[in-house]
Amino acid sequence: MPRDPEIKEAAVVLECRGIVKRFGGVTAVDGISLEIRAGRVTAILGPSGSGKSTLLRCLNFLEVPDAGKVLFEGVEVHARDRALDGLRSRVGMVFQQFNLFPHMRVWENVALGPRVIRKVPREEARLLSLGLLERVGLSDKADAHPLELSGGQQQRAAIARALAMEPAALLFDEPTSALDPELTGEVLAVMRALAAEGMTMAVVTHEVAFARAVAHEVVLMDAGRVVERGPPSQVIDAPSNERAARFFSKPGA
């Protein structure tokens, strides 16, 4: 995939400035500023407990930050206002545990957002859903229930569900961490195809090889802070920072 080395030129879709989030005595996110740029993949890496999920959740207000700002398409978002509805409906999230509704068919899971939020009629939403399931390689599973699917298939259905809202950006929180290694590849392949089509994505992941191959920018977090950021060729392969060098020298990295 061609990657523009000038990562700073694309428009900023989603941005946070000086985000702080505390849980009791723990400062999970300690003053992070980040820009998610149009058509770019931002990979967020770091050890367990470094605040990656909390940062992602602050970006779409699943957690309300204690300090700092979130801007979506240049407009500051506050809890309980209309800008938040726009952010919620147009920034999709894909979770480690898929979070599909088990009692609904796969196509119904995908069609739910458009039907409820965008008031798309049932048949139109069904056709939209079938098209998206084809895109993630699940045409034959449209009428199945989620628990009849493998983890990799469930995660691909969850990606189709996020795409159904025609998102301005997609946020992924360790989308392959709950999967057996042989199922990880099929999910990463779908994500790689989305990236190649120009989808704006922020991806929390432990898949260093994926970040190296697909991300335009890598952000390394530790203890609630960004310790290094830049293109993968720099952050992963030639880190200037001692903490980053240690993280990427681990076996498997």
Ligand X SMILES: Nc1ncnc2c1ncn2[C@@H]1O[C@H](COP(=O)(O)OP(=O)(O)O)[C@@H](O)[C@H]1O
User: From residue 139, how far is each of 130, 134, 142, 221 by CA, in Å?
Assistant: 7, 5, 6, 38
CB 22 to ligand X: min, Å: 9
Q: SS3 for 65?
A: coil
Residue 181 dihedral angles phi and psi, to the nearest 5°: -55, -35
Cβ 61 to Mg ion, closest distance in Å?
Answer: 17
Complex with Mg ion: residue 28 or 138, whichever CB lies closer: 28
In angstroms, give the least distance from the CB of 224 to ligand X.
Answer: 7
Residue pair 232/214 in contact (Cβ under 8 Å)? The answer is no
Whole-Å CA distances, 229 to 1, 138, 190, 215:
20, 35, 25, 12
Query: Shortest gap between Cβ of 243 and ligand X (angstroms)?
Result: 14
Q: How far is CA 161 from the centre of its chain?
A: 13
28 binds, among ligand X, Mg ion, none (CB under 5 to 8 A by kind): ligand X
Q: Which CB, 36 or 157, lies closer to ligand X?
A: 36
| CB nearer ligand X, residue 51 or residue 152 | 51
Nearest distance from C-beta of residue 131 to ligand X, angstroms: 33
How many residues of this chain interact with Mg ion, rule: CB under 5 A?
1
Residue 54 binds what, of ligand X, Mg ion, none (CB under 5 to 8 Å, by partner type)? ligand X
The C-alpha atoms of residue 245 and residue 253 are separated, in whole angstroms, by 11
Residues in contact with Mg ion, shown as a per-residue x/- string from 44 to 83 under the rule CB under 5 A: ---------x------------------------------
Query: CA–CA separation, 105 vs 160, rounded Å?
Result: 13
Q: How far is the CB of 42 from ligand X (least distance, A)?
A: 15
User: Which partner in ligand X, Mg ion, none is near 175 (CB below 5 to 8 A by kind)?
Assistant: none
**Binding pattern to Mg ion, positions 10-49, x when CB under 5 A?**
----------------------------------------
Smallest distance from the beta carbon of 24 to ligand X, in angstroms? Answer: 6
Residue 23, contacted partner among ligand X, Mg ion, none, CB below 5-8 A by kind: ligand X
CA dist 33 and 73 (Å) reads 15
Closer residue to Mg ion (CB): 177 or 233: 177
Burial class (CB in 10 A: 0-12, 13-18, 19+), 9: exposed
Residue 144: count of CB within 10 angstroms of its CB: 15
Task: Indicate which of ligand X, Mg ion, none lies near residue 101 (CB less than 5 to 8 Å, by partner kind).
Answer: none
The owner of tokens 């605040």 is 51
Interacting residues with ligand X (CB under 6 A): 23, 26, 28, 46, 48-54
**Chain residues that interact with Mg ion, rule: CB under 5 A:** 53
